Structure 1
Amino acid sequence: MAYDNICKYLAERFPEQFSRWLMGEVALPVQLLPTELSEEPMRADSVILLGLQQGILHLEFQTDPDPEIPFRMADYRLRLYRKYPQLSVRQVVIYLRKTRSQRVFQTSFRLERLSHEFEVVRLWECNLPARVDWPALLPFRVLSQVEDPGETLREVVAELERLPDSSEQRELAAATAVLAGLALDRGLIRQIMRSLDMRESVIYQEWRAEALREGLEAGRKEGLQLGLQQGLQQGLQHGEATLVLRLLRRKLGSLDPVLENQIWALPPSQLEALGEALLDFHSVEDLTAWLARR
């Protein structure tokens, strides 16, 4: 499961907490809106309808800067207006991984007379709540403004262990483990989080399935490349053996099948040597002696 997909999952499961984090107190209940914003294949990460028709909170999660983000935010805003013209919209792009790119400071889209503004959150500049009553934000704490990500992860694990809901604990632990990979070594993450069992979580299962698919695809490509190389080598060997056998038959006459099989089994380098040596052969015995020396 990709990093931004995990964030989408968390925003969909805990929309109230994300709304409170980014907007302060909001009237309850809040609810998720469909993220498909038109007939075209364009889907927002998370669209949250705030309580009592206060408006819409639109979230986009980005692991790394994308030059298309300003245009996409403007496009999303117009699509949201088309579906919900009576509601105000607050748009926030949340960047996960620390970077020096200036793109993460870009908060507007400009095109001739068209102008659109949106907000940006750079997690590494944020002080996130460390309390267990904000569980949705626990997986992000390692990526926030902390001095020691490893020690922060230990603190997060302690908070996760306090969660009374085992299902929620598994999902948040799996999200934490994956997102922490943006800041920490996997070996250290496994060591710190070994007390938490997350194997039955949706996030963990999807992450494992995605890793397996990527591994199979890499294996398929490697196997295809290896197959092409082997096929090319076998083709060269077959062509050279055919040529050498033709020259031998022309010079020595028909050959015993046992000798032919020996020649077919020779690697390309020895076939090349045999092609030169046969010029001096006068009988089948010369060929037999040459093969015996291989």
Structure 2
Amino acid sequence: MPSKDITLKDIFEEVPHRLSKILSPAPIKELLPTSLPSTELRVDFLARLEDESILHMEFQSFNDTNMPWRMLRYYTAIAEKYKTHNIKQLVVYVGNEKLRMKSSLKIKNLVFRYEILDIRQIDCKVLLESPDPMDRLLACLCKVEDEVYLIEKLIKTMESMNEEERKDYLLKALTLTELRPNLRIRLTEEVKPMPIVVRPEDIKLPKKKLRKDILYRLGLEEGKKEGEIIGIEKGKKIGLEEGFLKALQDTVLTLIRSRLGRVPEGVEVRVKGIRDREYLNALIEKLINSGDVLELLREERLLS
């Protein structure tokens, strides 16, 4: 499961105060198990509301043409388990591309509908002013007009936390902003001087993913002690320049994957061979604004 999905589910297990009020038609009474027995299905979020209806949410980071069928399968499984049709379904789109998914399915003898919300319709300031740290985290995915203000709020939120809480919060912020590449680069620049010690046993996200992605981008290195990762102030093996290069390379690959649903054969090797930071930054801008990613990759000689 992608680290972004795990992070979102982890955040919603704590029920972010302000965002849950925006997304839910009634106050949440209790969280329900996300696994649906006898179907092998697992949903992202399921809760019983105070009006006894059921709220089901899915967090989607790319445009999935199969989404209506997925939501229909979830609906029937939820209705069967809880013996109710008083179910509200909501797809929360958190991707970077323009939302293009349908919110209905019409076939012979069946009309099925659910709601879709592009999280960028929500002004991040609404969540940044919330007293709930989880709301402030999710503001990273909303409509951001002032990145400096957002990052200042996140850093200020971490100031009141102990070392373990700050570490977990920072990792979540860096993971979520993989979906917002420009914001992620800026956030990484701002937090890199922060002293942070992370050990694999402390990390709830996939360790392999974090070692190669989040921590590496911060310029951290695996320590000499087994399983220990130490901060950039003590780093000896991985320089900051290498960390920044890999951050940009991985951002390029993330954008390609989000736009195409895959990274074409040979492209990853070519991207990881680029050592020019200015060129990588320019390529990120082109990928964000390009209407034809495959043609852009050919023009940049990344795709043969």
TM-score over 0.5 (shorter chain): yes
Letter in 2 for 1:58: H
Please show how residues 72-221 of structure 1 align to structure 2 within 5 Å.
72-86=70-84, 88-103=86-101, 106-128=102-124, 129-162=127-160, 164=161, 167-185=164-182, 187-194=185-192, 195=194, 197=196, 199=198, 204-212=203-211
TM value normalised by structure 2 = 0.59
Aligned to 2:255: none
Which amino acid is the alignment partner of residue 66 of structure 1? D
Give the deviation of 1:14 after TM superposition: 2.2
Could you tell me how far apart the structure 2 residues matched to 1:208 and 1:189 are? Answer: 21
2:9 corresponds to: 8
* Residue aligned with 2:105, SS: strand
The 3-state SS of whatever aligns with 1:206 is coil
Please give the alpha-carbon distance, in whole angstroms, between the structure 1 residues aligned to 2:117 and 2:3: 19
Distance apart, 1:210 and its partner CA: 2.5
Q: CA shift at 1:198, angstroms?
A: 7.1
Separation in structure 2 between the aligned mates of residue 98 and residue 72 of structure 1, nearest angstrom: 21
Query: How many residues are aligned here?
Result: 210
Structure 1 position 135, deviation (Å): 2.0
Whole-angstrom distance in 1 between the partners of 2:48 and 2:201: 25
Larger radius of gyration: 1
Structure 1 runs of 4+ with >6 Å offset: none
Structure with a larger share of its residues in helix: 1
- d(CA) in 2 for partners of 1:41, 1:155: 40
> 2: CA distance between counterparts of 1:198 and 1:75?
43
Q: CA deviation digits over 1:255-291, x for unaligned, max 9?
A: xxxxxxxxxxxxxxxxxxxxxxxxxxxxxxxxxxxxx
| Distance (whole Å) between structure 1 residues aligned to residue 48 and residue 188 of structure 2 | 37
Q: Unaligned 5+ residue runs, structure 2?
A: 217-304
SS at match of 1:99: coil
Identical aligned residues as a percent: 21
- Classify 1:160/1:211 alpha carbon distance in 2 versus 1 (closer, same or farther; 3 Å): closer
Compared with structure 1, are the counterparts of its residues 85 and 24 closer, same or farther at alpha carbon in structure 2 (3 Å cutoff)?
A: closer
SS at structure 2 position matched to 1:133: coil
Query: What per-residue deviation string (whole Å, max 9, x for no partner) do you get for residues 116-140 of structure 1?
Result: 1111111222114212423222222
Please give the alpha-carbon distance, in whole angstroms, between the structure 1 residues aligned to 2:210 and 2:47.
Answer: 30
* Counterpart code for 1:188: R
> Which deviations, in whole Å up to 9, do the C-alpha atoms of 1:215-241 show, x marking residues without a partner?
9xxxxxxxxxxxxxxxxxxxxxxxxxx
| Aligned AA (2:32) | L
Deviations 1:13-63 (A, max 9, x none): 226655323126616xx3221212242322111111223x52211110111
- Please give the alpha-carbon distance, in whole angstroms, between the structure 1 residues aligned to 2:202 and 2:93: 20
Q: CA deviation at 1:141?
A: 1.5
Letter in 1 for 2:88: R
User: CA distance change for structure 1 residues 75 and 172 in 2, over 3 Å: closer, same or farther?
Assistant: same
Residues in 1 aligned to 2:99 and 2:121: alpha-carbon distance in whole angstroms: 14
1:60 aligned partner = 58
- Note if contact 2:36-2:77 (Cα within 8 Å) is conserved in structure 1: yes
Native 8 Å contact 2:59 2:94 kept in 1: yes
Q: Using the TM superposition, give the Cα deviation of residue 88 of structure 1 relative to its aligned residue in structure 2, in angstroms.
A: 1.8
> Quick check: 1:62–1:94 contact (8 Å CA) kept in 2?
yes
Shift in CA distance, 26/101, structure 1 to aligned 2, threshold 3 Å? closer
Assess if the C-alpha contact under 8 Å between 1:173 and 1:196 holds in 2: no
User: 1:71 offset after TM fit, Å?
Assistant: 1.0
Q: Distance in 2 between matches of 1:153 and 1:15?
A: 19
1:153-201 CA-to-partner distances (Å, cap 9, x unmatched) read: 2332223334x56655443322111111222355533222243747369
C-alpha RMSD of matched pairs (Å): 3.2
Tell me the CA shift for residue 2 of structure 1. 2.1
**1:21 matches 2:22:** yes
1:150 and 1:203 map into 2 onto residues whose CA distance is 29
- Does the 8 A contact of 1:109 with 1:117 survive in 2? yes
Q: Structure 1 length as normaliser, TM-score?
A: 0.61
* Shift in alpha-carbon separation, 1:66–1:100, aligned structure 2, 3 A: same
